[in-house]
Amino acid sequence: MAQRSSYYFVEALRSMHDVKSIKKGLDELPGVKSVSTNTDSHQVCVDYDNTGVSAAGVLNKLYDLGYESVMLRDVRRF
């Protein structure tokens, strides 16, 4: 079980509505431990256990929620 953190650029991340929608949607994914957002930099950070979800799965969920996104990086946490 590897702990990972993925960082995404989400251009449409601008308001508290977006923050709530993204956090609620990503929290539904198995293995997601936490979701952090920054509306100033339009970034989302997801800490997760990769036995439940992958970085690509998070990216697909963002698209499903209506947010075009680009994965910036995915790092293993020790």
We report the CATH number of the domain holding residue 43 as 3.30.70.100
Answer whether residue 1 shows pLDDT above 90: no
41 lies in which domain range?
A: 3-77
Residue 3 is predicted with a pLDDT of 94
Q: What is the pLDDT of residue 73?
A: 96
- HSE-CB for 8 with a 13 A CA cutoff: 27
Does the pLDDT at position 78 exceed 90?
Answer: no
Selection from 3, 5, 2, 15 nearest residue 72 by Cα: 5
pLDDT at res. 77: 83
Strand order from edge to edge, sheet including 32-38: 32-38, 43-49, 3-9, 70-77
What pLDDT, on the 0 to 100 scale, is given for residue 2? Answer: 87
pLDDT tens for 2-60 read 899 999 999 999 999 999 999 999 999 999 999 999 999 999 999 999 889 999 999 99
Domain count, the chain: 1
